[in-house]
Chain A
Amino acid sequence: MPAILAVRDLHKHFPKVQAVNGVSFEVAEGRCFGLLGPNGAGKSTTIEMLEGILKPTRGEILYRGQPLGPHYRERVGIQFQTTALQDFLTVRENLRFFHSLYRQGPRIEELVERCRLGEFLDRDSRKLSGGQRQRLLLAIALVNDPDLLFLDEPTTGLDPQARRNFWELVRDIKARGKTIVLTTHYMEEAYLLCDEIAIMDHGRIIAQGSPQRLLAEHFNDSVLELPLADLGDRAAALGFAVRGDAAERMTADVNDTVRALLDAGVSLARLKIRPRTLEDLFIQLTGASLRSGA
């Protein structure tokens, strides 16, 4: 598939920080591309340069093979991590306002239905819940029927139900053939929505590929997890690493390891066996937990 967006050797230097330090990648049309990284990794700076909000210090960004020009903003939709809207405007008035800034776009009613805004269309936008507000901001990002949609940590701060509802909307947008560039702190979100991810750290991409391929490349083992109480003081001797109240052991041969534990007289009644996740990959690559930040 042709690249809708191509990024080559992108750099961004601020007076005291080198935020992005040589990033290159391509996003194929109709795919969802995820940028992951701990706080301060440079993903928000990167996405803001892709959005045309920040000027790169060096490097180039091509949209359909062309440098970003005045036409670009007509063709992209953006949902910022945090966005203020004008006070005292209702949801409907906000949609109409942003709709009027573009030459083309779907009917307001269509957006309302697609983003499920019908119930609070005439409510002051300051009085929306977190999930409702994010749906309004998504509708505003779609107001020009963009080919390319940027979502910068769109579900941060939402409760699990609101987050799942939002994922449904993003899946629906993907199904319509739109290209999405997403940054997120949530590995589950990246795994479920993204066709390809790039993990950033210290302004560089340190791993890139489909989530499944990256996991297969980096791991050939599974994780055994037991409550620490079931191992007592033998955890280290049995090869387990302590994580809070639990202990984990990686193994490429689950049968062998389980047999060894049984031989050692460990109760496996509460044993959990799980495959490796993106979070494991992230911690392995960056040495930091995504949620706590680096």
Chain B
Amino acid sequence: MRRLWAVTVARSLEFLRDTSSLGWNLVFPLVLVAGMAMIFSGPGQPLFKAAVIAPPGAALDGTLHPFLATPHVQFYAERSVEEALPKVQRHRIDMLLDLRSVPGKYWINEQSPKGTTLERILAGTPGAKLERGTSNGAQIRYVDWLAPGILGMNMMFSCLFGIGYVIVRYRKSGYLKRLNATPMRAIEFIAAQLISRLVLIMAITVIVFVATNAFLHFRMEGSYLDLFLVTLVGAVAMIALGLTVSARVTSEELAGGLLNLLSSPMMVVSGVFFSMDGAPPILQAAAKIFPLTHLIDAARAIMLDGAGLAQIAPQLAVLGGMAALFLAIGAGLFRWTQD
């Protein structure tokens, strides 16, 4: 018992005296809770998301149609069927309602379990019956929408932790000090880390894509070459972000915390599992600071909408710019050892 107590005290002191880690452990949950509160504010997280095209000036509530009073469904405004219908097809939203005329119309994606469930709720709701609209174009399965998000998320974790955490471990263990004693220059070391991780993550992503595609047959409207290119540039940007985090940090706990600070919001706001349609505009704007958002956007545009290089040029430019910026900061700040 005495030994247990002694070790408990010693470890607690170690933790408390590591001010960077302690600070991090206090700051991170605060930031996370604040961020989550912003995203999921209001009376609980809605289960369904439906876009409504309403007559001018009308409020999106039960007075417009009793269905709009259904709890746990987030109704948000869209301007036109042309803009909103592709979102139904691409599983970004579960239903589209056009209530500008009587009877109104609604659209769902028949491949979407949430869409068909919402349709049943609508059918059981009193009020004017709505006409079922038929959406033109192929119905996109949820997995087609989800796959780029999952692959992107996997790349993000591998790039951030595989680079950021490992370099900090190298620094802490003295391996970087040993390399510093050789003629190797910092830029050579950084470039080697980047190339090694890039080759590995691209190979892994291609293998996973090909293997899952073999039985899931993803929808692919665009060019595989464009998809490869945007994935490559996105991976460089995320590796460079990992390098920036690890440039000077010597504590693995702090590095883990910083990497979580970057990866957790990306999981939520970059559109991995659900789209940010209907989220507060400030949050949608904030999502743009993360490379994963642009990577997933571009990959979905290529795979689902057949976008070419011209259409994904903005995302490519942003990812390229981020890669250059993070690399410059990471290389500039890099230190072999803690002096």
| Interface assignment of A80: CB less than 8 Å from any CB of chain B | yes
Contacts of A103 in B (CB 8 A): 183
Known pairs A83-B175, A84-B175, A86-B175; A54 contacts B182 (CB<8 A): no
User: Of A22-30, A70-78, A173-181, which binds chain B?
Assistant: A70-78
- Alpha-carbon distance between A86 and B169 when the two chains are bound, in angstroms: 10
Known pairs A53-B337, A54-B339; A80 contacts B183 (CB<8 A): no
Count of A-B residue pairs with CB < 8 Å: 41
Asked whether B173 lies within 8 Å of A78 as measured between CB atoms, the reply is no
| Interface assignment of B20: CB less than 8 Å from any CB of chain A | no
Asked whether A80 lies within 8 Å of B178 as measured between CB atoms, the reply is yes
Known pairs A53-B337, A54-B339; A78 contacts B175 (CB<8 A): no
Q: Which of A70-111 contact B (CB under 8 A)?
A: 70, 73-74, 76, 78, 80, 82-86, 98, 101-103
* Closest chain A CB from B171 CB (angstroms): 10
Asked whether B180 lies within 8 Å of A80 as measured between CB atoms, the reply is no
Q: By CB atoms of chain B within 10 A, which of A53, A73, A84, A85 has the most?
A: A84
Asked whether A53 lies within 8 Å of B183 as measured between CB atoms, the reply is no
| Interface assignment of A51: CB less than 8 Å from any CB of chain B | yes
Asked whether B183 lies within 8 Å of A83 as measured between CB atoms, the reply is no
Contacts of A86 in B (CB 8 A): 175
Contacts of A78 in B (CB 8 A): 178, 181
- Classify chain A's interface size: 20 to 34
Known pairs A80-B174, A84-B174, A85-B175; A73 contacts B182 (CB<8 A): yes
Known pairs A53-B337, A54-B339; A101 contacts B175 (CB<8 A): no
- Alpha-carbon distance between A73 and B180 when the two chains are bound, in angstroms: 9
* Closest chain B CB from A12 CB (angstroms): 10
Asked whether A84 lies within 8 Å of B178 as measured between CB atoms, the reply is yes
- The majority secondary structure among interface residues of chain A is loop
Asked whether A73 lies within 8 Å of B183 as measured between CB atoms, the reply is yes
- On chain B, the number of residues with a Cβ less than 8 Å from chain A's Cβ atoms is 14
Name the CB-closest residue of A to B178: A83
Contacts of B178 in A (CB 8 A): 78, 80, 83-85, 140
- Alpha-carbon distance between A102 and B179 when the two chains are bound, in angstroms: 12
Asked whether B175 lies within 8 Å of A80 as measured between CB atoms, the reply is no
Known pairs A53-B337, A54-B339; A98 contacts B182 (CB<8 A): yes
- Alpha-carbon distance between A51 and B180 when the two chains are bound, in angstroms: 10
Contacts of B183 in A (CB 8 A): 70, 73-74, 101-103
* Closest chain B CB from A125 CB (angstroms): 12
Contacts of A102 in B (CB 8 A): 182-183
Q: By CB atoms of chain B within 10 A, which of A53, A80, A85 has the most?
A: A53
Name the CB-closest residue of B to A141: B181
Asked whether B339 lies within 8 Å of A83 as measured between CB atoms, the reply is no
Q: Which of A43-84 contact B (CB under 8 A)?
A: 51-54, 70, 73-74, 76, 78, 80, 82-84
Q: Give a binary string over B8-46; 1 marks a CB under 8 Å from any A CB, 0 the rest.
A: 000000000000000000000000000000000000000
Asked whether B173 lies within 8 Å of A84 as measured between CB atoms, the reply is yes
| Interface assignment of B310: CB less than 8 Å from any CB of chain A | no
Q: Give a binary string over B320-339; 1 marks a CB under 8 Å from any A CB, 0 the rest.
A: 00000000000000000101
| Interface assignment of B214: CB less than 8 Å from any CB of chain A | no
Asked whether A80 lies within 8 Å of B181 as measured between CB atoms, the reply is yes
| Interface assignment of B177: CB less than 8 Å from any CB of chain A | yes
8 pairs, CB–CB < 8 Å, chain A vs chain B? A53-B180, A53-B337, A78-B178, A80-B181, A83-B177, A84-B170, A85-B178, A101-B183
A sample of 15 more A-B contacts (CB under 8 A), given A73-B181, A80-B177, A80-B181, is A53-B180, A54-B339, A70-B183, A78-B178, A78-B181, A80-B174, A80-B178, A82-B174, A83-B177, A84-B178, A85-B178, A86-B175, A98-B182, A101-B179, A101-B183
Q: Which 4 A-B pairs have the closest CB atoms?
A: A84-B173, A84-B175, A78-B181, A101-B182
List B residues at the A interface (Cβ < 8 Å): 170, 173-175, 177-184, 337, 339
